[in-house]
Amino acid sequence: MITERTGLIIWVTDLKAAKNLERFGSVHYMSKKMHYVVLYIHASRYDETVRQLQKLAYVRKVERSYRGEIKTEYESHGPDKSKFYTL
């Protein structure tokens, strides 16, 4: 059974303290240059987790990731031109 997950982008002030975010979900990426963390959590606990994250002293802003809503299946409306480029 696959659980529904939601991605969060968490802007932080201190990356050392941001390592504690693993207790809320699975940390996917930590950017040292831009000071943000990509965290995946259970979708059912989204509201309470965001409230808890915003209370932390080292968290500047919490945003929802729209990666799951981006269309990844593409359609080609034109003719296939690959046959013109063969030898």
How is the chain split into domains, by residue range?
A: 9-65
Token couple for 52: 């808890």
Q: Locate tokens 């299946």: which residue?
A: 73
Confidence of residue 86 (pLDDT cuts 50, 70, 90): low
Token couple for 48: 């309470």
Q: How does pLDDT run across 32-79, given as a tens digit for each residue? A: 999 999 999 999 999 999 999 999 999 999 999 988 788 878 777 777
Q: What is the mean pLDDT of residues 10-33?
A: 94
Q: Locate tokens 């693993």: which residue?
A: 22
Q: What is the mean pLDDT of residues 24-33?
A: 95
**The sheet that has 5-12: what strands, in order across it?**
26-31, 36-42, 5-12, 59-64
Provide the pLDDT for residue 87. Answer: 62
The pTM assigned to this predicted structure is: 0.78
**Which helix (H) or strand (E) covers residue 46, if one does?**
helix 46-54
Query: Per mean pLDDT, which range of 11-20, 22-31, 49-58, 70-79 is the poorest?
Result: 70-79
Using an 8 Å Cβ cutoff, are 37 and 30 in contact? Answer: yes
